[in-house]
Amino acid sequence: MPASGATASQQIFALVDVNNFYVSCERVFNPTLENRPVVVLSNNDGCAVARSNEVKALGIKMGAPWFQMKELARQHGIVALSSNYALYADMSSRAVSILRDYSPNVEVYSIDESFLGLNGLGNLWRSFASMGQSMRQRVLQWTGLPVCVGIGSSKTLAKLANHIAKKNPRFNGVCDLAAMPQAEIDALLAGIEVGEVWGVGRRIDAHLQTAGIQTVKDLRDAPLTWLRSRFGVVMERTGNELRGISCLDLEEIAPPKKQIVSSRSFGQLLHALPDLNEAVASHVSHAAEKLRAQDGTCSAIHVFIHTNPFREQDPQYSNSIVIPLPNASADTRLLVRAALFGLKKIYQPGYAYKKAGVMLMGISDAQTAQGSLLLEHGAGQRSEGLMKTMDALNRRYGRHTVSVFASSAVKSWAMRRENMSPCYTTRWSDVPVAHAC
Amino acid sequence: MANILPLGNETLLPYLRQAALSAPLYRLPLLLQRIPAGFPSPADEYAESALDLNTYLVRNKTATFFFRVIGDSMTGANIHDGDLLVVDRSIEPRHGHIVLAIINNEYTVKRLYRLNGVIELHAENPAYAPICFQEHDELRVWGVVTGAVSRFAV
């Protein structure tokens, strides 16, 4: 009996995922990284956000702080790189554009994972597994990125199949659960911990374990009514998905964001208001650009600052403020003015600040924005034209070509990225070298 | 119903669905000039987009990458120090292609010689000897060079 939200006809999905994505991108352009342990560090070089298999084998966990693994890194010659988002974004869009040749229905789920709807495409291939192998081969040849493909009759099963493909070399990178005999599926699912299921977080995992649900097979075979009464409708839906009843559709067009956040820890601690002004103005510019890209306006801006809670020896302070705007706007000039007004209200001298950020709130469609009799500057057609020009210039000549707030030459608040690789694919000055000698 | 696809033992034909559009909206090109009052420009009907070197140099955008040349071993093939190389990974390397290979952990541009079981990388400059590969050596070709771009000092 199909549960609510389930569609009657059989669905088929693939999840294509790049192995160790950030590390794999770095390796495409730097052969010396091959067969060596490599980690990519988060913003400000804080912790590991991507690990090569060699690093995983050393027992270094995702999110491990860099300062904790420095000793291990020295012993084993681990190469630590700062994250190079320009490179990763370009490589990701190349991989996605290859996948779009295989299916017209692609949901880009994250920078390194895409769901493909495969309904009706099976007849083009000997099997879905052979389609998966073809994708794998083509992405590897065209971009140098290794991918794994999981196929199943729900998104949850496709994701699980991807996990299986990755962990078991015998699948050669492609696992199709939809074409697998039931006994084999049962044996596989009985060997996978329930925490690996999409949407089962650490907290629910613990609750499931207490209730005697340890493996994915246990969860699949648990009565749906019990799942619902004990864990809620989301877990019931997961139960359905594991039984092959698709409840989650592809989301091909990302819904417009209701809130836009831009914030980041500073490369070093900041004390003075002018420095904070500059950081906040830069965050507003970034957020406003995103706002205009989705053709929206916002009606309030939330500004926050705080010190570093991990430096217990320092006096601590954190505060935030919401500044409502007289008219909904997407004009960087107006938003910066409002944000700096708010920052001035909450700023206290005498503290070492670690982080500042802004959140644009009350976002609505620019087309439906309500007019006002009292149009301030920063509203109307002139503003729209100016912002369009600004965005175009920044797109063409690089971010920060034109900005609203005067910025100093040395950005003391900028990200610390001490070991970033060149932007091989997005900057002429950074293209890799071919030796003819 | 006529059927041009190899069906195997499948009996169901794919059902048709609406084509997914990659972008939610389309922009139409504006007219080239403002219309003062009376007559539109007679050229507007013939508007075409200007020539773009990308379309000339790049066959497969997804698989194409650029490299900067250092050295003079390929001058015979008109590839000079400082040139920009257009490298396409989607092309299967064949005898006679100019390729980007990985030699000693570096990217090297050479002409691929592969005939009668002999595999070599040839420079296009008599000052450089060919690189020969023995039976158990592995030659790793990163991509096939499809073009080179030079800029001159002005």
The residues of chain A scoring below 70 in pLDDT are 1-9, 43-44, 253-255, 367-380, 399, 406-416
Residue A1 CA to residue A220 CA, distance in Å, equals 15
Across the interface, whether the CB atoms of B74 and A126 are under 8 A apart is answered no
Task: Using an 8 Å CB-CB cutoff, list chain A residues near B14.
Answer: 119-123
Task: Using an 8 Å CB-CB cutoff, list chain A residues near B89.
Answer: 141-144
pLDDT at position B136: 81
Q: What is the pLDDT of residues A348-399, one digit of tens each?
A: 999 999 889 898 888 887 765 555 555 555 556 777 888 888 888 887 777 6
pLDDT at position B39: 64
Between A and B, how many CB-CB pairs are < 8 A?
A: 99
Considering only CB atoms, A141 lies closest to which of B71, B87, B90, namely B90
pLDDT greater at residue B9 or residue A35 = A35
What φ, ψ does residue B57 adopt, rounded to 5°? -95, -25
pLDDT at B102 over 60: yes
pLDDT at position A215: 96
Q: What is the pLDDT of residues B22-69, one digit of tens each?
A: 444 445 555 555 555 666 666 767 777 788 898 999 999 999 999 999
Mean pLDDT in chain B? 81
Considering only CB atoms, B109 lies closest to which of A428, A431, A434, namely A434
Catalytic member of B41, B61, B73, B90 = B73
Is B110 considered catalytic here?
Answer: yes
Considering only CB atoms, B70 lies closest to which of A98, A104, A435, namely A435
pLDDT at position B4: 37
Q: What is the pLDDT of residues A165-222, one digit of tens each?
A: 999 999 999 999 999 999 999 999 999 999 999 988 888 889 999 999 999 999 999 9
Total-model pTM = 0.73
Q: Pick from B124, B20, B88: which is nearest to A141 by CA?
A: B88
Is B22 considered catalytic here?
Answer: no
Catalytic member of B22, B41, B49, B110 = B110
- Tell me if A378 sits within 8 A of A384, measured CB to CB: no
pLDDT at position B6: 36
pLDDT at position B85: 97
Q: Pick from B52, B115, B65, B130: which is nearest to B91 by CA?
A: B65
Across the interface, whether the CB atoms of B70 and A141 are under 8 A apart is answered no
Closest chain A residue by Cα to residue B18: A104
Across the interface, whether the CB atoms of B70 and A32 are under 8 A apart is answered no
To the nearest whole Å, the CA of B80 is away from the closest chain A CA by: 9
Q: Structure tokens of B75?
A: 């001058």
Task: Using an 8 Å CB-CB cutoff, list chain A residues near B79.
Answer: 436
Considering only CB atoms, A433 lies closest to which of B12, B61, B107, namely B107
Cβ neighbours, 10 Å, residue A268: 13
Residue showing tokens 């091959």 = A34
CB-side exposure of B2: number of CA atoms within 13 Å? 1
Residue to mutate among A93, A123, A124, with most B CBs inside 10 A, is: A123
Distances (CA, A) of B143 to A67, A411, B64: 38, 39, 9
To the nearest whole Å, the CA of B138 is away from the closest chain A CA by: 15
Task: Using an 8 Å CB-CB cutoff, list chain B residues near A365.
Answer: none
